[in-house]
Structure 1
Amino acid sequence: MEYGCIGKKLGHSFSAVIHAKLGNYDYRLCELTETELTEFMTKKDFKGINVTIPYKETVIPFLDNIDESAKKIGAVNTVINNNGILTGYNTDFYGMTELLKKGSVELAGRKVFILGTGGTSKTARAVAKSLGASEINVVSRNPKNGEISYDEMYKRADEVEVIINTTPVGMFPKPDAFAVEPEKFPNLSGAADAVYNPLTTEFISRARACGANAVNGLYMLVAQAAKAAELFFNDKTMTEKTDKVFSEINKEKLNIVLIGMPGSGKTTIGKIVANALGREFCDTDGEFVKSNGAIADYFNSNGEAAFRDKESEIVSELGAKNGLVIATGGGAILRAENVKHLKQNGIVFFLDREVENIIPTSDRPLGSDREAIRKRYEERYPIYCSAADIKVDSNRDVNTVAADIEKAFNSMEGQV
């Protein structure tokens, strides 16, 4: 390969998509074991590569030269091959700095706690120092060399002002995991996560709920990739593309999620939106029926709790994917875990249809008559409003509603 990314597990990687948007060059993902890494670096059959977990330190002995800043950091994520001479750089420093600036995460004069001890942690330490952090603490499960334990971090909870997660905790396929609980730190003002898949990690979601400025790792990934491409081709214009590429990638990866009462048009409108945007459409009720048969029959035989359990499994699976239009069952938002899973990679639209315009049907076990519909509406309306990012009037023609959703989605600016 000419250009690409090497690492141990790259199934989650967005790097190839990002580089395809930066320029017209062949960029591939290359998973390597430790043994294969030695052969790859010795063979030198590439022009430029990015290096990711867990090889940002491992590649250093294979290099002929190391950029001064990368040497100080002690981690390399970009290698250039110039006629057999390998030179290592650290573009993560640029990427993380830009991420923190973009998300208004202020480090100057703050006590910063960095989770993890790998190559990205070393980069975070250098960034924190360069941005004027008053104190830098590295947190490890097995502390040594001046690091502190997670227990010690919690004991010093009042001191914690900024947290930077450089561990893979919370990364797909385990998006419910988190390294620390932001709620335990009363003075937390900022948080950053190097993880970018899911787009909003559990850690970042909870940090935002605490009122902290909190940023996801995708912008860092795009910024460092642009800086690496600049080194690949000696092209100073690459970093100028960062905002545009980030916005495009973020939008492509986001799911469009439709919530609302049964009969509010989620399935019909969702199909129109999916067709217009060239996306796959998924319906949580439809997915349930494929595996379990009619919902009303399942309700009668197994009860609502059993149905909700199955529904949650479907929501979790779909919410972890990217680029879908998802229509949810009317009661999917009744479980907080479902809302969380839908928001990890999604923007949530509430199709708000007045109860008088919702027609009861026999195939809806909790909405088979007018009285039942009204009761569900009154119970759920505040939950729909709370879960929604955008509320859309669904009392109009379905094509008009779909067009409004498309317009709102297309006008979105990428949020870090």
Structure 2
Amino acid sequence: MEQTLYGLIGAKLGHSYSKIIHEQLAGYHYELIPLPTEAEARAFMEKRAFAAINVTIPYKQLVIPYCDVVDPKAKAIGAVNTIVNRGGKLYGYNTDYAGFSYLARSHGVDFADKTVLILGTGGTHSTVEAVCRDGGAKTILSASRTGKYGALTYNEAMRRRDVQIIINTTPCGMYPNVGQCMLDPTAFPALEAVLDVVYNPFRTELLLRAAERGIKTAGGFEMLVAQAVYAAQYFTGRFYAVDSVIPTASRRLTHQLANLSLIGMPGCGKSTIGAALAKQLGKTFVDLDEEIERRTGNNIPDIFAHEGEDAFRRYEADILADIAKGTNQVIACGGGIVKTPANVHALRQNGWVLWVQRPLGKLATGGRPLSQGGAALKQLHAERTPLYRNASDGVLDNSTTLDRVVQEAARTFAAYELL
């Protein structure tokens, strides 16, 4: 009997965007099939009850013996991430190679004569190593927590001053454990580019830190879309014009999934704009101050009065860290959100940040613990302006009508490039 199941297998798939990508790209129904144990993965493969599947961590090697035919490229790499069932025979391919090649090429990262450091030693490492080797890399180093199998430890890797390109192939920094980073990119004076195969969040902590140094960066979402396009060709037998389909699909999907966060002085209209903008963009609206009050069971003036600003900032940072892991949101932030540096990374990991500006004389000040007007308001504005500027991707002028401001914000959002 002809099989009709298309999907993705892996141990944990709660972070996966593959269903959205495949269904929008090719039109077939695509299922996420979590298989937490190796025994479950083997049982699934033995049944062969699928038309075609993708394979992710940690089963890219496990599935190889179940394939009747393995593509030479996949065999050389030692990892299969795409399997097609043709009349009961399983054909294994590796589209990660083409996907990673596309990611590097589209961001102008050239491996020729470069010293490359690959973080991790799993199945994706083998794919990335093959791309680097085929691209003419001069030296390819590997690093892991244990330093086994010829790899450096991360501490040893930090002492390699000649590293020019870093590529993360580990799950470090991946949803839900965002904000983690294996090493400090500032330790590498020759560093030119940092690539990360993690795609959720769009920008990992490693990428955010590298970007702050002006280093070229690229995250794994484009690689995910690219490998899905190549996989869909195997699944369906259809040809895609990959150099136009991949960037178009990547841009459409990032705007669909990305957050847009609003920062600015207390009383500048972030919540009003955010609610209307979320409706315009078809996103979920989150008022961070309201969420803090809901989760703590106290209103913000009372938190300031009874526990102090430091306690409030801890609540704010913890709750934002949780919310900002999500996607497809418009987040209206409190005026002091930028006082905690980690908050800026949390906001930027999955989207863009707009600085809402409004004349001081028009700011609402009632019921706001740190914004009571007059000289104090001017001082607060002077202190926070450089923080807002450094945290934001753009400015939104809120001195006209709400409708005009929302339309301008929507146009600005549509023009942004995240990848």
TM-score, normalised relative to structure 2: 0.96
Q: Counterparts of 2:74 and 2:196 in 1: how far apart (Å)?
A: 21
Among the aligned pairs, what percent are the same residue? 41
What amino acid is the match of 1:16?
K
Deviations 1:18-40 (A, max 9, x none): 00111111110101121111111
What amino acid is the match of 1:132?
G
Question: 1:211 deviation in Å?
Answer: 2.3
Q: Counterparts of 1:19 and 1:168 in 2: how far apart (Å)?
A: 22
Say whether 1:21 aligns with 2:24.
Answer: yes
2:158 is paired with a residue whose SS is helix
**Partner in structure 2 of residue 321 of structure 1:** 326
2:101 is paired with a residue whose SS is helix
Question: What does 1:194-233 correspond to in 2, within 5 Å?
Answer: 194-233=197-236
TM-score, normalised relative to structure 1: 0.97
Q: Which one is further off, 10-19 or 309-318?
A: 309-318
Question: 1:238 deviation in Å?
Answer: 6.3
Could you tell me whether the CA contact under 8 Å between 1:112 and 1:135 is conserved in 2?
yes
**Partner in structure 1 of residue 313 of structure 2:** 308
Say whether 1:262 aligns with 2:266.
Answer: yes
Q: 1:372 to 1:98 in 2, by over 3 A?
A: same
Question: 1:210 deviation in Å?
Answer: 2.2
**Partner in structure 2 of residue 384 of structure 1:** 388
Q: Counterparts of 1:276 and 1:141 in 2: how far apart (Å)?
A: 46
Question: 1:141 deviation in Å?
Answer: 2.3
**Partner in structure 1 of residue 110 of structure 2:** 106
Among 339, 347, 367, the alignment partner of 2:344 is: 339
Among 355, 364, 372, the alignment partner of 1:350 is: 355
Give the gaps of 5 or more residues in structure 2. none
2:108 is paired with a residue whose SS is coil
What amino acid is the match of 1:23?
A
Q: Counterparts of 1:290 and 1:9 in 2: how far apart (Å)?
A: 30
2:239 is paired with a residue whose SS is coil
Q: Counterparts of 2:246 and 2:335 in 1: how far apart (Å)?
A: 39
Q: Which one is further off, 176-185 or 370-379?
A: 370-379
Deviations 1:305-339 (A, max 9, x none): 11111111121111111010100011111111111
Q: Counterparts of 1:385 and 1:210 in 2: how far apart (Å)?
A: 17
**Partner in structure 2 of residue 167 of structure 1:** 170
Question: What does 1:110-259 correspond to in 2, within 5 Å?
Answer: 110-156=114-160, 158-237=161-240, 239=242, 240-259=244-263
**Partner in structure 2 of residue 278 of structure 1:** 282
Could you tell me whether the CA contact under 8 Å between 1:4 and 1:48 is conserved in 2?
yes
What amino acid is the match of 2:204?
T
- Figure out how many residues of one structure are paired with residues of the other and give that number: 413
Deviations 1:370-396 (A, max 9, x none): 232222111111111111101111222
What amino acid is the match of 1:218?
F
Deviations 1:256-311 (A, max 9, x none): 10000111110111111011112111111111222332211221111111111111
Q: Counterparts of 1:96 and 1:282 in 2: how far apart (Å)?
A: 34
Could you tell me whether the CA contact under 8 Å between 1:226 and 1:238 is conserved in 2?
no
Give the RMSD, CA atoms, in angstroms: 1.3
Q: Which one is further off, 43-52 or 281-290?
A: 281-290
Q: Counterparts of 2:277 and 2:155 in 1: how far apart (Å)?
A: 48
What amino acid is the match of 1:314?
I
